[in-house]
Chains A and B, each alone.
Chain A
Amino acid sequence: MTAITNLLSFLGLVVTLLIVWRQSWPGRLRLFIAQSLLLALLALVIGVLVGKAGLLVVAGMVVLLKAWLIPRALARIAAGTPVRSVAPGHSAAVPVLVAGALVVVAYVVMLPVNAATTLPTAGGIPLAFAMALIGLFVCVSGRDALGHLLGFLMFENGIFGLALLATYGLPGLVEAGVFLDVLAIVLLMEGVLLRVRREHDSIEVDRLEELRG
């Protein structure tokens, strides 16, 4: 069990780093779907190995929401924007370096957690947390609303992975609430951003500067 959960967490982190490295939108979106599918697989594996049927439902929900419905919404939001690289004129080297440093940070922050457990899945905990931190980094360094939203969703995926590895998922009621929340956030964001596009002809956040002081 340790081997396979560690492998899946590691693959998840690799995909996360690839998202940071990748500069085209469709490419990033495909990688996000891959990340979500890996998490669904993780939920499935843990569910089967520890015998928690609830996690199988959770895996199905992840596929439905994060590999299908949410990417479709993201594609709708992106549909009106011109195809260009995420950060024109900037190399991906610095963000990838930052992401690498965040992996180290994640290991340090999660030290007390790893010290308190003998779970077979413990090895993946810092990796999942690193995925969350890198997502947060993508979110705060994003240049337009799509970058913010994608970063937030990667952040959320990392947290979901953390919950799977550290506690084999949360109680059903909370899990259901989390899925509803994520879906609602994306749909509300779509509503807000479509209005922003109508008003500003762009979803670049640099243009949002009416409110200061």
Chain B
Amino acid sequence: MTLLLLLGLPLAGAALSTRLSGAAARAAHGLTAGGTLAAAAAVVAAVMRDGSVTALDGLLRADALSAWMVGLVGLVATLAAIEAPRQVPRTEARRFYPLLHLFTFTMLLALTTDDVGLMWVAIEGTTLASVFLVNFERSRSSLEASYKYLLICSVGVALAFVGTILVYFADVQQFGDELYALRWTTLLRLAPGLPARVIELAFVFLLVGYGTKAGLAPMHTWLPDAHSEAPAPVSALMSGVLLSVGLYAVLRFKAVVDLAAGPGFASRLLVALGLASLGVAAAFLWAPRNFKRMLAYSSVEHVGVVCLGLGFGGPLGVAGAVLHIANHGLAKSVLFLLSGRIRAAYGSAEIPAVSGLLAAMPLTGRGFLVAMLALAGLPPFGLFVSEVMIFAAGFQDGHVAASVLGLALLVVAFAGLLRATHRMLYGPAPVGTRETAHWPSTLALAAALLLLIVTGLAWPPGLAAALEQIASLLAP
């Protein structure tokens, strides 16, 4: 029931807001966003109590991993929803809110279905729902970005479909149970008996396909364009959670391939792609020119870190990776939302065009500084802890060379990010650039940053248990 509510609310909100305008549209937007957050919280609570919840004869199912991701989507979608009215002109509401809530719906569906076929449909749906959001500002460059986004992600996700077909093929060949053959729970139960070579082949397609959606190098080429051209609330959702939805799909299949073919196969591929992503991101982040593109490339970097964690494996690596997904999602969405304000105030997203941010926009500037320090992986923020967990797992399990290389690339990216931030924060402030935001509108962002300190300094009761439960689901 809670699952149906979780999916029904954003869908109903999307349908409703196609017909509304003005104050009514805003009210519907607020109600939908609030309701979705409440439903997400209810799903998390139910899973914490019962271990998992199901609906529609098991077609929908949320376990600890789903609940973790649903909670994250709920939080980031709320941040984006609070900021949206600042960024979206009233007259354009009808073009924005329906797609925004539809986009949230497709992500939540991908996370809460047990059927990997339906998950594929939902992940393809995330692209379709967000194409015109990327092109919302109707500029030449955003048009080009949305074209690349639609084409590359559709091709990528079609490759993942080849993988899904091969998994279904292996399953039906071996067991003949067609009705539930694409359910993840069935796949996991039958995995040890599936033909290893076919499942390995399928995983390659799935990793490349969903990896495209997750922004893994070398399939990341669409990402900096789409993430930097989209309006800030959409960028926040895309960088903060959409990438993780792609990773989530990889995660589900990794559990299956580990059981069918042994853990080494998926691990090697993930470590290689993770290092490639870190390398591509570090090369760009050394000297970025545009701060929205900088944030987008930093997402490629962090997706790479998560992949390393999954590749290193073990309970520590998987728990670190899952925690890192949440930490990065919060930090990056705050940064993208603030970058929307900066771009509006300075009239440009180029780094040289922005100076004296701290003096001109004290609230936004300080928030940007704190979130940037968190993103760079400094203590006391959560990203520091999850990165330590991931690399500790790497050294523990004998991936010494990969860990050292990964850390070196992280340092390069770190230096580039801080240098660019420094350039934006200090220096002479241009005349006439003023803070337009007040405290109340920034409270939600501050709360997200506070949450990052919580995951960095003092884990609340239940967090360790939740991470342990997720790790045992994926690395039994």
Contacts and interface: CB of A to CB of B under 8 A. Distances in A.
Interface of A: 109, 112-113, 115-117, 119, 129, 132, 136, 139, 145, 148-149, 152, 155-156, 159, 162-163, 166-167, 170-171, 173-174, 177-178, 180-181, 184-185, 188-189, 191-193, 195-196, 199-200, 208, 210-211, 213
A116 B173 CA distance: 8
A185 B169 CA distance: 26
A53 to B, nearest CB: 14
A188 B117 contact: no
Nearest to B293: A213
A139 B210 CA distance: 19
Contacts of B135: 192, 195
A133 to B, nearest CB: 10
Contact of B151 (A109, A112, A148, A181): A148
A110 B198 CA distance: 9
Contacts of A112: 195, 197-198, 200-201
Nearest to A109: B201
Contacts of B155: 136, 139, 152, 155
Contacts of B224: 211
A181 B150 contact: no
Given A174-B182, A177-B121, A181-B124, A159 B150 contact: no
Contacts of A155: 155, 158
A-B interface, 4 closest residue pairs, ranked by CB to CB distance from nearest: A177-B121, A174-B117, A112-B197, A210-B141
A77 to B, nearest CB: 12
Interface in B146-164: 146-148, 150-151, 154-155, 158, 161-162
Contacts of B168: 167, 170
Nearest to A173: B118
Contact of A116 (B146, B182, B197, B293): B197
Given A132-B162, A159-B158, A181-B125, A188 B150 contact: yes
A34 to B, nearest CB: 21
A200 B168 CA distance: 44
A166 B168 CA distance: 9
B205 to A, nearest CB: 10
B324 to A, nearest CB: 27
B179 A171 contact: yes
A191 B131 CA distance: 10
Give the size category of B's interface with A: 35 or more
A46 to B, nearest CB: 14
B165 interface: yes
B353 to A, nearest CB: 16
B381 interface: no
B144 A211 contact: yes
A97 B168 CA distance: 33
A174 B118 contact: yes
Given A174-B120, A191-B132, A211-B145, 17 more contacts: A112-B195, A112-B200, A113-B169, A117-B169, A139-B155, A159-B158, A167-B168, A177-B117, A177-B120, A189-B150, A192-B131, A192-B147, A196-B147, A208-B148, A210-B140, A211-B141, A213-B293
Interface string B27-40: 00000000000000
A192 B146 contact: yes
Contacts of B148: 208, 211
Nearest to B145: A211
7 contacts: A109-B201, A112-B197, A116-B195, A155-B155, A170-B168, A177-B124, A196-B147
B59 to A, nearest CB: 8
B144 A208 contact: yes
Contacts of B120: 174, 177
A119 B224 CA distance: 45
Interface string B275-287: 0000000001000
B161 A199 contact: no
B289 A210 contact: no
Contacts of B195: 112, 116
Contacts of B117: 170-171, 173-174, 177
Nearest to A207: B144
B225 interface: yes
Contacts of B125: 181
A166 B166 contact: yes
Query: Which of A132, A152, A181, A193 has the most CB atoms of chain B within a 10 A radius of its CB?
Result: A181
B121 A174 contact: yes
Contacts of A189: 150-151
B170 interface: yes
A167 B147 contact: no
A189 B467 CA distance: 41
Nearest to B181: A171
A145 B147 contact: yes
Contacts of A152: 151, 154-155, 158
A200 B172 CA distance: 49
Contacts of A208: 144, 147-148
Query: Which of B121, B135, B179 has the most CB atoms of chain A within a 10 A radius of its CB?
Result: B121
B128 interface: yes
B143 interface: yes
A117 B144 CA distance: 44
A184 B127 CA distance: 11
A159 B162 CA distance: 6
B144 A178 contact: no
Interface string B420-433: 00000000000000
B83 interface: no
Nearest to A177: B121
Contact of A163 (B124, B165, B170, B178): B165
B258 interface: no
A2 B401 CA distance: 51
Contact of B178 (A136, A148, A171, A188): A171
A173 B115 contact: yes
